[in-house]
Structure 1
Amino acid sequence: MKFVMYKNESGQFIGIVNPEGTHVLPLVDTYEKMGGKKAIPADLLQAISLGEVFHQEAEKTFQWVNDNKLDSELFIPLETVELLAPIPRPAKNIFCVGKNYAEHAIEMGSKDDIPEHIMVFTKAPTTVIAHDQNILAHSELTEQLDYEGELAVVIGKKGKAIKREDALDYVFGYTIVNDVTARDLQAKHKQFFIGKSLDTTCPMGPWIVHKTTIENPNNLDIKTTVNGEVRQDSNTGNFIFPVEEVISVLSQGMTLEPGDIIATGTPAGVGKGFKPPRFLSSGDTIEITVEGIGTLRNRVTKQ
């Protein structure tokens, strides 16, 4: 099941996207038409916080539409609405795992840069934008804007000191993130946060796929193209630290909460890894495709 946030002339809503990815079902309105008894908020972050009951009620609603053959009456063409990021304003910074593919660690330095322990940094909530929204070039600040296609995990329930074998029980679903990075700012400030947190540098979406749809998050093809040219082509099976380990480590001494977002790291093929480097320019279009989820597309613009 694919959950989206979208808006039209009437406001902002949660939707369920059909398997073909062409139409969206307004969840709250349809749930009320079905006679649902529980309150479902119009915000996906709040809905995720309801726990498993939200997914159960959403499934009932979707099944009711199918059983009563109401698809043509209730579904809206996806092209007629504006998609928002699934969680337009995260409650916390986005957690990001650094150098989680050995080949990416090598392209950024050498084999000595392959980490023994999980590296984590964060991006500010104000970086988040939606599928098809524009990434600002920030040319007054950086000459080295780079892309990083990543699978992202969305936490579904509160947890602390989570055991690795229990970690996936705490997941709500999965989405795609482009960890856009100003490499020169990253080098200048000797840390990641500023170079990772310029406005619009965390495209996210186009939706969240519920975990029941993804059998194994550690075995998904991931590909990034820039203007149609393949730059990154890998599989999450190449993670150094699998999703379960990342969740477990983050939760040691720190509480994870519903709606927390974890970007799991990027494969080799980032712009900085080429010789000479191939950074982004205004007009470039980046598409990141993750198996079982879909494609996140954004364009770089001057303003």
Structure 2
Amino acid sequence: MTAIVQTPVTGPSFLKRLLRSPSAATGAVVVLVILFAALLAPVIAPYDPTLQETASRLMPPTAAHWLGTDAFGRDILSRLIYGARPTLLLVLIVVLLMAPLGITVGILAGFFGGVTERVLMRLTDIVMSFPRLLLAFAFVAIMGPGLINGALALALTSWPAYARQARVETAALRRSDYLAAAEMVGIKGIRLLWGHILPLILPSAVVRLALDLSGIILAAAGLGFLGLGVRPPTAEWGSMVSDGTQVIFDQWWIAATPGLAILITSLAFNLLADGLRDILDPRHG
């Protein structure tokens, strides 16, 4: 059986197609703005995010505090800017752990087949049989709250989807003339897996990853909302929403602003993922 081998879109061609996609371009711009705001937080934040001024507590938006203050008199805009840091850092850690683990398991299962495939896929099925978010909360409850523990919990419960996708694509490539020709010229083992199979399954994995980022952000906010994320007084969007729910009927802006930040960030990643799917997935375009 011969599998169709698609050449990944790279370089200037990829950038041009990305800019021509309205959804991808919009999502990329918003994501870049959020990234730069997080990186430049000490420069652009008007106040120290942990500075408490009880005389200014629960103030509505004013010229001094554009988004108002919380129950401790802390500037919400400053906390919103600094709050992007732990959220994006957690997402980065999850991505660096989740995708490589899942892709590695899927490639090994799809390429070697037999007992290797059965063992790895049964392990994948076991992890997938549990609700992902509930299992992540259980892990964090066992390991203790914190940014690293939260990232590990989300990564350990999110990799099976990548493993299943990589296994299917690797199994199809395993029977292709492309890999047969590579093996005929002496390319085998790790060199074959790393240099010839991995580049061909990366585009679809990138699309899935981009689509999953919004879910990871929501899960990270959920951990913070339940007090299982970063420890106070560190600013984090989920914990800010949790603090605001206590006074939501009188001071609605305290919960609304971090909630809006979560919404905009998730929407931006979804728009970017939609454009990447059109560019990288050969079934779209």
Considering fraction of residues, name the structure with more helix.
2
Per the normalisation by structure 2, the TM-score is 0.24
Structure 1 or 2: more strand by fraction: 1
TM-score normalised by length of structure 1: 0.23
* Higher relative contact order, structure no. (Cα contacts within 8 Å, ≥ 6 residues apart): 2
